[in-house]
Structure 1
């Protein structure tokens, strides 16, 4: 590997280098303090809506001590090559092929969101190629609610309901109930919403392929054996803290740090706290037990985290209407309600449709919901949040401060 030594953030938007592995093209940029640097490099693997430009701050911080490689596999980031036939495992194997072809020393992947699953699979399938592993937003997508929301997102895109898809995706990635803690700028939320509303046909196809890979993934047969650090935002609803803690607990050398005042994008929302934890880790030093804005949990506590991500209470007006355009409507009693889901009681028929349900109080916009566990007394549900007005009305119902209309 010959590294570039002239890094500045503008270079992250330039044409990347390309490595061809059989039919597949891998895009990358590689930087270091010297062109022939032989130290173990950090490998950046981003999430579904991230490009190389997302990592300008991280590259600048890391270059003082490590070579840094940014990699886009087929269908990821700025790499537009379609690769719908590749599984998550096969994409992870391409990372190993990349390392072999360029004769790299063992890598230190940093995997964020979608990229965390790829990084973890690479580490578990190719342990000789991985020195250390840093993950944020990791999950095996086994939680029923997260799977239903991912499936519904694919259905909305297939139906051409891109506005509804974007609204729902935004509210699951960035927890709107915790904005006073996460300090996510309204401008950032608007920009991300616009980005998802304006996905091209090719970008939609790529998102569908990536999401289907996650749904097809049956879980980790083995976990990374190398030193592994998992960073979790305390308000992350999409990949919840307890899920990430269980992954860290399954890694023989796993550590887990909780980032205060962050949700799914912890590394971008709380840069200083995250850096104070991962920089010692990448140097091979012990992970600090406490830093400003973050703390590392003892291993014996990782299986004991609370699994309910929000308080759910009986609403002041429990009577509501449950409606489905094809099979009718029922008067129901909502026994539990939170922003992201709840539970309702009613005598409902068996064989209910999986989608198309609305829950409505007389003076509020209808709320799209997705049933989960169903019995003869009713069902639990997750809230889709595909409509800004309905989400705002629910937020007002749960707490005095209403959700912004653009959220």
Structure 2
């Protein structure tokens, strides 16, 4: 039986954050999920359920999304990374592994860079280095710039094949299932998320990310062309790239295939070098 989630809404100096924790075993480092733009935490549940049930998982709605309150002023990624660290303190977590999806991948990079002692390993899925990226097609980016897909379920059903690619091109039911789990907090929160990424880039400090990093990319991703993921894997010193035969949301649509790749990466421990004595002559 899958473990139930424990939901809590916490208050950090007036900013409420809705959190969900799937309890796990203490021998595994917990996994923190940074979700995509406009995406409430329920959207990653299929992925979480595919992971090892012993793995503790932490998900949350960023400000202005799902059940978290919408701030009066915009925010930037460094501020969100600091808020995340405070959330972990509140929930009594020290070090975590982090996985970031799309927009959440940018936030995951910022968190790993700003709080290296809190982030043991890093997983970047369908994301890029921000302003210095090879963009998708203009029509796809224009559709993404609007929060309409999170407000009108019929709209996302119509545009999903174009913006998500992969399985959404082949299975019409996927878009309807995706839309049924969406919990919008309104337009303003979506625009604040867009503002957080405006002009942001990690390209000049990616080489300083020292955590073991797994870069996951879809080979049919209209939003984040594959070359962006290759660039991340090239710039981050201790990174490995794994390409998935799917589109932008492969973490959800191919959860059963992707979860073992992630678990293997998380369970790997780097072995100390052994210097063998010179054989006696």
Structure-1-length-normalised TM-score: 0.56
Cα–Cα, structure 1 residues 103 and 38, in superposed 2: closer, same or farther, change >3 Å? farther
1:212 to 191, 195, 201: 195
Q: How does 1:5-404 map to 2 (within 5 A)?
A: 7-8=3-4, 11=5, 16-33=7-24, 37=26, 39-82=28-71, 84-139=73-128, 140-143=130-133, 145-146=135-136, 152-153=142-143, 170-175=160-165, 184-190=170-176, 203-223=186-206, 224-260=209-245, 262-284=246-268
Q: Give 1:266 deviation, angstroms.
A: 1.2
Q: Give 1:78 deviation, angstroms.
A: 3.3
Secondary structure in structure 2 of the residue aligned to 1:29: strand
Distance 2:199 2:173 in 1: 34
Secondary structure in structure 2 of the residue aligned to 1:128: coil
Q: Which has the higher strand share?
A: 1
Distance 2:155 2:198 in 1: 17
Cα–Cα, structure 1 residues 151 and 23, in superposed 2: closer, same or farther, change >3 Å? farther
Alignment-derived partner of residue 275 in structure 2: none
Q: Give 1:188 deviation, angstroms.
A: 2.1
1:173-228 Cα distance to aligned partner (Å, 9 max, x none): 322xx56xx664202234557999xx97x522222221232233244442232011
Cα–Cα, structure 1 residues 249 and 169, in superposed 2: closer, same or farther, change >3 Å? farther
Tell me, yes or no, if the aligned pair for 1:147 and 1:215 is still in contact at 8 Å.
Answer: no
Tell me, yes or no, if the aligned pair for 1:26 and 1:73 is still in contact at 8 Å.
Answer: yes
Q: Give 1:148 deviation, angstroms.
A: 5.1
Q: Give 1:171 deviation, angstroms.
A: 4.7
CA RMSD for the aligned pairs?
3.4
**Larger RCO, structures 1/2 (Cα 8 Å, 6+ apart):** 2
Tell me, yes or no, if the aligned pair for 2:140 and 2:163 is still in contact at 8 Å.
Answer: no
Cα–Cα, structure 1 residues 153 and 31, in superposed 2: closer, same or farther, change >3 Å? closer
Q: Give 1:77 deviation, angstroms.
A: 3.9
Tell me, yes or no, if the aligned pair for 1:75 and 1:83 is still in contact at 8 Å.
Answer: no
Gapped regions of structure 1 (runs ≥ 5)? 1-5, 287-407
Tell me, yes or no, if the aligned pair for 1:41 and 1:105 is still in contact at 8 Å.
Answer: no
Tell me, yes or no, if the aligned pair for 2:122 and 2:214 is still in contact at 8 Å.
Answer: yes
Distance 2:10 2:251 in 1: 28
Gapped regions of structure 2 (runs ≥ 5)? 271-281
Tell me, yes or no, if the aligned pair for 1:111 and 1:117 is still in contact at 8 Å.
Answer: yes
Q: Give 1:144 deviation, angstroms.
A: 6.4
Secondary structure in structure 1 of the residue aligned to 2:120: coil
Tell me, yes or no, if the aligned pair for 2:135 and 2:225 is still in contact at 8 Å.
Answer: no
Cα–Cα, structure 1 residues 234 and 146, in superposed 2: closer, same or farther, change >3 Å? closer
Residues paired across the two proteins, number: 263
Q: Give 1:157 deviation, angstroms.
A: 7.0
Structure-2-length-normalised TM-score: 0.78
Cα–Cα, structure 1 residues 130 and 273, in superposed 2: closer, same or farther, change >3 Å? same
Q: Give 1:61 deviation, angstroms.
A: 3.8
Tell me, yes or no, if the aligned pair for 2:64 and 2:189 is still in contact at 8 Å.
Answer: yes
Secondary structure in structure 1 of the residue aligned to 2:132: coil
Secondary structure in structure 1 of the residue aligned to 2:54: coil
Secondary structure in structure 1 of the residue aligned to 2:32: strand
Cα–Cα, structure 1 residues 43 and 195, in superposed 2: closer, same or farther, change >3 Å? closer
